[in-house]
Amino acid sequence: MLNWDKGKDEKAISSANYIQDMGKEMDMICEMLSEETKYFDTKKFFDKIHEYIVKNDRLIYTHITNYIFVLSDEEFGVLQTNIDSVVNYMYGDQYNQDYSKLLEDRNEKRSLERTQRTVLKMWDHVNLARRQYVMFHHKDEDYSKIVDEKMEIAGAKISKEMNVQLISLVAIFTALSFLVFGGISSLDNIFAGAKDIPILKLVVVGSIWGFCIMNMLFVFMFFIAKIAKLNLSSTDDVNASILKKYPLVCWCNFVVVSIFILSSWAVYISGEELSVRLYDLIYKNQTGFFVAGTFAIIVVIVFAAKKIYDNIKN
C-alpha cells in the first residue's frame, strides 16, 4: 500500500530536526559566553558565531532570552563582559590582523561583516532581555515594598484630608452652636419684655432679629463652605447674580423684609394717631378700603416676587 504522506512527514521531521539543531547550537554559543572572563577567547567565539550564521542564516532569540532569564546577577555580569569584549575585538586592530587574508577576498569580507552585524544583534538582544527580566521579574519582597510605599503615601494623604475635614466639622459645630444659642438667648430677652412692648413693636424687633440671625448663618455657612471647598450655589455659572446663586436666602430675606416694612408702617400709623382717623374712615367705607388695601398689598408682593423669580430664571 502506497503512503501518500511519506514525503510530507519526512519534510516535517527534517524541519523539526533542523530547528532543534539550531537551538542546540544557540545554547552552546550562550554557554561559551558564560565562560569565565580570564579563559574566554574572543576569536574562538567569533569563529563559532561565523560558522553558525553561515550555516543557519539567523539567530534564535527565544533561546537567548530563556538563557538570560535563568542567570544570576553575577553570571549575567560575566556574560555581558564577554560579549562586550567580542564587540571591542571586532572593531579593533587585532581583528584586522587575524582576518587579514579573508578580508582581502570580497565574498569573505562580506560574510565577516554579516557576522559582525549578527554579534551586534546578539549584544543588543542580551541587554534587552536582561532589561525585560529586571522590569517584569519582581519577588514578593519587591511587591511588598512597592505596596508599602504606595500605602504610606496614600495614608498620609488620607490622614491629611481627614484632619482638615475633622477641623472643619469641629469649627462648624462650635461656631454654629455659639451662633444658634446666642440667637436663642437674644430672642428670649426680646420675649421676656413682651408684656411691656406693644405687639407691633415686638414684630418689628423680631423681624430685625430674624433678618440678622438668618444672614449671619448664611455668611457663616458661606465661609465654612469656602474652607471645606464645597459649593452652596444653585448654579455653576460664575457670572450669575446673587439672586440666582442663592434663591432660598433671597426669598427668606424678602419675606422678613416684607414683614418688617408692614409692621413698621403699622407702628408709624399708630404713633402718629392716624389710626383713629383711619379707623373712622375705614368704618365708614369698610368694604372699599378692605378691597383696595388688600389689592395694593397683593400687587406689591406679587410684583416683588415676580422680579425676584425673573432674575433667578433669566
Specify if 233 maps to a domain: yes
Tell me, yes or no, whether 218 and 126 share the same domain: no
State how far the Cα of 240 lies from the Cα of 312, in Å rounded to an integer.
9
Check whether residue 41 and residue 116 sit in a common domain: yes
Residue 159 lies in a domain: no
Q: Tell me, what's the pLDDT at 6?
A: 44
- How far apart are alpha carbons 114 and 53 in whole angstroms? 8
CB 220 within 8 A of CB 179: yes
Query: What pLDDT was estimated at residue 196?
Result: 65
Instruction: Cell numbers for 47, please give them.
Output: 569563529
Residues 21 and 133 in one domain: yes
What integer pLDDT is reported at residue 246 of this predicted model? 79
Q: What is the pTM of this model?
A: 0.44
Confidence at residue 3, expressed as pLDDT on a 0 to 100 scale: 47
Q: What is the pLDDT of residue 4?
A: 39
How many structural domains compose the chain?
A: 2
- Residue 167 falls within a domain, yes or no? no
Report the C-alpha gap between 89 and 273 in whole angstroms: 121
- Residue 152 counted as domain residue: no
Q: 175 lies in a domain?
A: no
User: Residue 82: which of 37, 48, 114, 127 has the closest Cα?
Assistant: 37
203 and 104 in a single domain? The answer is: no
Give me the domain span that covers residue 24. Answer: 9-137
Tell me if 62 is assigned to some domain: yes
Return the C-alpha cell found at 216: 449671619
pLDDT at site 8: 45
- How many C-alpha atoms does 3 have within 13 Å on its Cβ side? 6
| One domain, residues 203 and 307 | yes
Ranges under pLDDT 70 in the chain: 1-16, 138-144, 146, 183, 187, 190-197, 228, 269-283, 286, 290, 312, 314
Cα–Cα distance measured from residue 225 to residue 232, given in angstroms and rounded to the nearest whole number? 7
Residue 203 lies in a domain: yes
In this structure, what C-alpha cell is assigned to residue 168? Answer: 472643619
Residues 13 and 127 in one domain: yes
Q: Is 146 contained in some domain?
A: no
Cα separation, 95 vs 71, in Å, equals 29
Reading phi first (left if > 0) and then psi (alpha if -120 to 50, else beta), residue 249 is in: alpha
**Residues 66/31, Cβ–Cβ less than 8 Å:** no
On whether both 104 and 223 belong to a single domain, the answer is: no
Q: Which residues have CB under 8 Å from 304's CB, separation 6+? A: 254, 258
